[in-house]
Amino acid sequence: MTRLFLLLCLWLSLWSRNVLGSILAIDYGADFIKASLMKPGQPFDVLLNRDSKRKIQSTVGWKKNDRLFGSDAAAIAGRFPQDTFPSLKFLQAAPYESEAVSFYTSVSTADVVKTERGTVALRRSDGTEWSVEELIAMQFAYVRDLAESTAGEKVYDVIVTVPPYYTQFERDAVVDAIEISALRTLALINDGTAVAVNYAMTRTFPEPEYHVIFDAGASSIRATVVEFASVPGEGRPKSNKDATQITVHGVGYDRYTGGTELDRRLRDLMLSDFQKRYKRDISIDKRAMAKLWKEAGRVKAILSANTEAIATIESLAFEIDYKAKFTRAGFEAACKDLKSRYAVPILEALARAGLKLENVTSVILTGGSSRTPMIQDAVKAAVGADKIAQNVNADEAAVLGAALHGAGLSRQFKTKDIRISDIGPYDIQVSYQAEAKNPGARPRTINTLVFPSGSKTGTKKTLTFKRQNDFSVKLAYKAPPAPGFPTEFLEADIVGVSEAIQNITEAGATDPVVKATVMLSESGFASVRDAIVTGEFKDESITGKLKDLFGKGSSSSQSVDETTADVGTAEEETASETATSSAAEASATVVKAKEPISLEIEVKFPTIPPMSVNQKRAGRDRLLAIDAEENAKRKREEARNTLEAYIYKLRDLLSEESSDAPFMKCSQESERKALAAKVEETLAWLQDHGDDADTIQYIDKRTALESLERPIVHRYKEIEEFPKALNNSQMWNWSTRLFLTEAKQNLTKELETGTVGKYTKEELEELEKTLKEHEAWLNEWVEKQKKVKMNEDPVILASEMRARAKVLENHLQKLVKKRPPKAPKKSTTSTSSTAGSEETTAESATSSTAKGSSTPSAHDGHGHDEL
């Protein structure tokens, strides 16, 4: 039993170490990535990149064979336009023929290709193709590495923000990228909801409040209507410890009217101006278009704070240096058709929430594009300037809110009690074919709306089917969720029906039915969770038969309600259980089967499938391979740089003219000549063959140089260490001699008085012998060392001196720590009194000896001067 308990404790410790570790939050945007790390004992803040910046550009690219991330990747877009991949968020799960892909190709110079799943991959200039999930996984892995450097430990769990309008296809793509990056999905959270968590973290709500989170990002504009209220904390009295309830009531969005569209309009202004002035078409010049795109982003940021800005691009195309002035008024005129769309998501969200503007306390602005004057003006015109609130960090509120929510999902973090109730944005229906009533009849499809738009996440619905054979159900959006996206996203084959019905019928059940549970998860995924066959059993007891005689009517009525023919009824799971309980009370003759039979569910994806396990494994292997290649390259570069630095250091040492320099004083002429020859030989090799050498060759070359320098360095270090080691040895000699002097005096007194001492004569003689041996050895070898020149090898090492001194120290400490012997007991009072007196005397002597033999430190003034 004890052994089992120990094994259980070991398993729990390993489990908690892996499961309850640090939590990474990622706010993945089309332009920038923000991340935050939650770790016990570490300050909660935004994660910094390697340049100490608080946000990372959402770009991955290659400079020839070197993979780059963030601003480094964005900086090379003008030179390597086909190898730089920004704004990948637009392409998550996007069908190749969709509007999302068309929009992406209008803003990016990357080559887009179709995958076997019907989605998108991007092709490098060397022909290598990477799926969007793999490229985003690279960025997630890059952020994970930053987090692990900060945490000092492995990071496994991640929570990622997504727009509230993301479909099942897009959410699957996010999770696939997470898994390829070797992370685990803790949760997905809608970005507006994450901002709401951040807003609620430092506020209380004595009365319910409604706010609109207006998120203007690079990819899109989103509006989320949120209610904040205080509710009793679970297991706590209603006081200051009340929990905060965040309830999402409605969302509105515009998928493409974001900051990227503004960049595109400004880039097109520059393109048109250049072509008009120079009569040259550069629209198919990928390098020129990449340079224009980068400059458009810079100019847009300037125009957000100024009325005009100068665009400057050196050697844009045809060796022409482009320079032009753009005004905010001209820019806004080019975007005037967008102005009416900026506030529409707010109005849509309010309408879906069933609220009016006067019900709302404020409209909270967030997202980088919310700083754009034309967007701010449009929102103010729609809701009124007094409703506008800018009391959250526009760039970081979402990632900090996501991190707080992720911490709240873990038991190891103590955070404010904030509960979330979110919604799904689309109508989701279940479709299935009805069983034919007559042979040869045309099958008809039945559609049942299970999760209307606005349904709360975390909801379960139970579907009841009166079937005799296997059948399939499909989950689909009632209407296309976005231009070019399909409606059907999941098909579940329910298998083993006929066998299960036969088994439950033979057990005495009547009216067997199939019940399937459909769930909308907290992260926004709809799925068929389980399916069972259940039925009703008659109570054959006398009491049951009497009740059956008088209660048959109500029993039959309930049976019909539960098994409504073949159309399948959709009910809240809790409501279904309540109905069953009421029927049992009305008639005990009919009861539910105690052990329903579980059915097998085979899931298929009829349109855009998520990546398969094999595809994700292959993607992870590709990333591991490129990581290993880059690590090897990094080690090679480090080895080369280290060798180069070492060569130049040795050249500087050899060129020193002063004879008083430590290197010159500790080296011989022949050693310097040999080392100088080897340095020149290695430098020549590095210039001729360094570009083709591998890591081992660099290390071997450095080792050969170190072997020649090592004797010189050894002498210098010994010259430095010798005085310290000698002082230490002499200190222990002095301490031991002082101890022996006092201990011998006490021993003489003890012999005269006949008392029992702490130390015996033999013990003191043995210590004195060790002392004399150490003094003799030290005097002999110190004299020999004095005759050694600085450029000659020492005859005695500091390490050996310390080792011999340690022997004397241990011998002395052994006696100092020895306990005094107990005095013998006396039978008479006088004897006891005498013994007591003697014991006191002995103790005093011992105390005096111990006090006199206390070990001095090397810095208490008793050590000898250094030689």
pLDDT in tens, 689-730: 988 999 999 999 999 999 999 999 999 999 999 999 999 999
Residue 754: its pLDDT value, please?
A: 80
Residue 304 has pLDDT above 80, yes or no: yes
**Banded pLDDT at 11 (limits 50, 70, 90):** very low
pLDDT confidence band for 757 (50 / 70 / 90): confident
Alpha carbons 665 and 653: distance in angstroms, whole number: 11
Lowest-pLDDT choice from 229-238, 320-329, 418-427, 563-572? 563-572
Mean pLDDT of 549-561: 36
Q: Higher model confidence: residue 759 or residue 364?
A: 364
CB 487 within 8 A of CB 510: no
**Across 93-190, where does the E strand assignment appear?**
111-114, 120-123, 129-131, 157-162, 184-190
Per-residue pLDDT, 543: 53
pLDDT number for residue 821: 81
At which residue do the structure tokens 């506008």 appear?
388
Q: What is the mean pLDDT of residues 81-100?
A: 96
pLDDT at 625 over 60: yes
The whole-angstrom separation of Cα 486 and Cα 478 is 10
The first and second tokens of residue 561, run together, are 């309600």
Predicted pLDDT at 411: 75
Which residue's entry shows tokens 């900060």?
Answer: 150
Residue 413's pLDDT band (cuts 50, 70, 90)? confident
Please give the average per-residue pLDDT across 57-74, as a whole number.
95
Choose the weakest-confidence range: 25-39, 62-76, 230-244, 739-753: 230-244
Q: How many CB atoms lie within 10 A of CB 769?
A: 11
Mean of pLDDT over the chain: 86
Q: What percent of the chain has pLDDT over 70?
A: 85
Whole-number pLDDT of residue 235: 52
Q: Pick the range with the lowest mean pLDDT from 140-154, 482-496, 852-866.
A: 852-866
Give the end-to-end CA distance of the chain in Å, rounded to a whole number.
Answer: 66
Can you tell me the mean pLDDT for 162-169?
98
pLDDT band at 545 (very low <50, low <70, confident <90, very high): low
226: three-class secondary structure by DSSP: strand
pLDDT for 544: 54
Q: What pLDDT band is residue 819 in, cutting at 50, 70 and 90?
A: confident
Question: Which domains, and CATH codes, for the chain?
Answer: 19-257+342-421 (3.30.420.40), 259-339 (3.90.640.10), 428-611 (no CATH), 626-705 (1.20.1270.10), 713-852 (no CATH)
Distance CA 636, CA 285 (A): 36
Of 104-113, 184-193, 569-578, 606-615, the poorest mean pLDDT is in 569-578
Total length of the chain: 867
| pLDDT score recorded for residue 415 | 85
**Beta-strand pair 23-28/157-162:** parallel
pLDDT, residue 541, reads: 58
Question: Residue 542 pLDDT more than 60?
Answer: no
Rounded to 10 deg, the angle between the 259-278 and 99-107 helix axes is: 50
Report, as an integer, the average pLDDT of 384-408: 94
- The residue behind tokens 């911490």 is 407
Flag whether pLDDT at 240 surpasses 70.
Answer: no
Q: Cα–Cα distances in Å, from 43 out to 40, 53, 194, 374, 403? A: 8, 17, 20, 37, 12
Mean pLDDT of 413-418: 87
Strand pairing report for 597-598 and 590-592: unpaired
> In the predicted model, what is the mean pLDDT of residues 473-485?
96
pLDDT, mean of residues 603-608: 96
- The Cα 697–Cα 639 span in angstroms is 9
Write the single-letter amino acid at 165: Y
Encode pLDDT of 663-684 as tens digits.
999 999 999 999 999 999 999 9
Looking at the predicted structure, is the pLDDT value of residue 807 above 80? Answer: yes
Q: Dmax of the chain from CA atoms? A: 127
How far is Cα 774 from Cα 765, in angstroms, rounded to an integer? 14
